[in-house]
Amino acid sequence: MTRSLSFMRAALVAGLASAAPAAAQQAAEAGHPAYTAGDVQFMTGMIGHHAQAVLIAGWASTHGASPSIRALCERIVVGQNDEIRLMKRWLSDRHETIPDDHASHDMMPGMAMGGVLMPGMLSPEQLGQLDAARGPEFDRLFLTFMIQHHRGALTMVDQLFATKGAGEEEKTFRLASDIYADQSTEIDRMSRMLAALPSSDKSP
């Protein structure tokens, strides 16, 4: 992601954030529901998406990751677990079904309808490749795959806001905006970390 694109996305998020309360108020005044099926689908899908990120970030301590990768993984685990709790509470408060996020190994979370992986999700083959890696190879694959994973989350946010009526409920909007901003920043950070690896660590 280029700096200009990052800036444009940050500006978009900031602009949407300032408009969120007004959009929610307008929806309420028009008699529209406070949230939509698109919001529920986003929350449900993102729980599974986050669960896979937490799973693979948790491998750092057992797969010989470098200190910098371990620190990154700890931030990912803490941050995305916090967001999973927020999304579960959002669903619970609205009496919506809460997905099981503890079946990450068998790929149950992160599957869209029809068994198709959501954007950015690691395939079973990629999970196996990462799980088999150790040391510098784990670092390289982790950064490569987590950049892919984060970009998928950005796509999911884009899809939310592109869905008519979705993303206007204030809590949904703010969470989606935070995910977009945080993961855009982490993509930039991980891209720099990947570029800084010794050339031998970047070979396929």
Mean pLDDT value across the chain: 84
Interval 42-58 mean pLDDT: 96
| 3-state DSSP of the chain | CCHHHHHHHHHHHHHHHHHHHHHHHHHHHCCCCCCCHHHHHHHHHHHHHHHHHHHHHCCHHHCCCCHHHHHHHHHHHHHHHHHHHHHHHHHHHCCCCCCCCCCHHHCCCCECHHHCECCCCCCHHHHHHHHHCCCHHHHHHHHHHHHHHHHHHHHHHHHHHHCCCCCCCHHHHHHHHHHHHHHHHHHHHHHHHHHHCCHHHCCC
* pTM to 2 decimal places: 0.80
pLDDT at position 23 over 60: no
Of residues 63, 38, 42, the one with CA closest to residue 164: 38
pLDDT at position 153 over 50: yes
Domains parsed from the chain with CATH numbers: 3-201 (1.20.1260.10)
Give 38's contacts (C-beta < 8 A, 6+ positions apart).
160, 163, 164, 165, 166, 167
Residue of 31 and 69 predicted with greater confidence: 69
Interval 13-41 mean pLDDT: 60
Tell me, what's the pLDDT at 67? 97
